[in-house]
């Protein structure tokens, strides 16, 4: 059902609309506003433009198109072109983040998000990633943009000192010295610079508790992806209320619906159902 003005503020990770948004961006943005969405998180950024199931559009033009429909482009997911973080690849990564931060600053985008963690097979590799995350966040901060990293399921895997692969076991009987990748990235990055976007469903699928991390890092987890295994709120496997209550208790407010189906051909229906759910439940402000 189409919505008029609403008091609640919630956003959408645009990947979840797949090709349906790309067919007519102005009309799609208008429809999202009518459904009740207020903010957007981008995907498909590359070298100053956005190309996500549509031809490349300059980021500033994309932002203006969204603003004309009353939507704020608040955040942007970016995947660096390098998966192996080494001292040899650091210079290329630094240049990538400098150019990317400059482009997002010009468009007035507040948050720049590392969309997926690079290759991590050992404690040392995780520590090297953490080292560079702090550098990337400093580069972004110098351009006036806040930098964060997003978790996937694999952050709950463990790694060993000198290891050759990450470990994911159904029991807790990991070898002595094994450390969780997520913990290393959180503990060994600069908390004043590196922020976090929490994907609660991904943590749960990985065997981690999102509420535990929200309690432990109240001022660093300042964004969330809200999603479900089925339509939002329907699977029964995710306690959305507990996650939202702790997020709000931490003083945080910005989150995005994410729907990873993307190619169903019925994504606007799914995104509309997600908006209905968020507008209906009393624990969402």
| CATH number of the domain to which 233 belongs | 3.20.20.150
Are 133 and 186 spatial neighbours (Cβ–Cβ below 8 Å)?
A: no
pLDDT at 148: 98
- Using one digit for the tens of pLDDT, what is the confidence trace for 249-283? 999 999 999 998 888 889 999 999 999 999 999 99
At which residue do the structure tokens 């065997």 appear? Answer: 207
Q: Is residue 168 part of a domain?
A: yes
Q: Is residue 1 part of a domain?
A: no
Q: Rounded distance, CA 132 to CA 91, Å?
A: 10
pLDDT at 231: 87
Q: Is residue 6 part of a domain?
A: no
Report how many domains make up the chain: 1
Cβ-proximal residues to 65 (8 Å cutoff; 6+ apart), any chain: 25, 26, 29, 57
Residues of the chain with pLDDT under 50: 1-5
- Using one digit for the tens of pLDDT, what is the confidence trace for 235-247? 888 999 999 999 9
Q: Is residue 285 part of a domain?
A: no
Q: Is residue 222 part of a domain?
A: yes
In DSSP notation, 252-279 reads --EEEE--S--SSS-HHHHHHHHHHHHH
Domain housing 139: 11-280
Whether the pTM exceeds 0.75: the reply is yes
Are 227 and 201 spatial neighbours (Cβ–Cβ below 8 Å)?
A: yes
Instruction: Extract the tokens encoding 20.
Output: 């349906």
pLDDT at 72: 98
In DSSP notation, 176-211 reads TT-EEHHHHHHHSS-TTTEEEEEEHHHHHHTT--HH
Burial of 124 (0-12, 13-18, 19+ CB in 10 A): middle
Q: Rounded distance, CA 270 to CA 132, Å?
A: 37
């Amino acid at each position: 059902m189409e919505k008029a003005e609403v008091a609640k503020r919630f956003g959408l990770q645009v990947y979840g609309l797949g090709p349906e948004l790309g067919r007519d961006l102005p009309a799609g943005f208008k429809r999202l506003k009518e459904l009740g969405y207020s903010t957007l998180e981008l995907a498909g950024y590359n070298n100053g433009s956005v190309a996500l199931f549509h031809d490349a559009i300059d980021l500033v033009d994309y932002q203006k198109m969204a603003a004309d429909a009353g939507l704020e482009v608040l955040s942007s997911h970016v995947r660096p072109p390098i998966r192996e973080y080494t001292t040899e690849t650091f210079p290329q990564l630094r240049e990538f983040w400098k150019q990317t931060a400059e482009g997002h600053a010009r468009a007035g985008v507040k948050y720049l998000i590392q969309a997926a963690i690079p290759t991590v097979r050992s404690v040392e590799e995780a520590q090297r990633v953490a080292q560079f995350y702090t550098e990337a966040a400093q580069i972004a901060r110098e351009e006036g943009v806040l930098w964060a990293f997003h978790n996937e399921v694999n952050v709950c895997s463990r790694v060993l000192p000198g290891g050759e692969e990450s470990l994911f076991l159904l029991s807790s009987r990991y070898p002595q010295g094994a450390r969780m990748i997520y913990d290393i990235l959180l503990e060994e990055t600069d908390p004043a610079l590196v922020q976090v976007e929490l994907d609660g469903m991904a943590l749960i699928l990985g065997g981690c508790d999102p509420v535990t991390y929200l309690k432990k890092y109240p001022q660093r987890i300042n964004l969330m992806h809200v999603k479900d295994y089925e339509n939002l709120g329907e699977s029964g496997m995710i306690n959305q209320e507990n996650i939202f209550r702790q997020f709000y208790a931490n003083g945080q407010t910005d989150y995005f619906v994410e729907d990873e189906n993307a190619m169903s051909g019925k994504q606007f229906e799914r995104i509309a159902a997600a908006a209905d759910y968020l507008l209906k439940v009393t624990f969402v402000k």
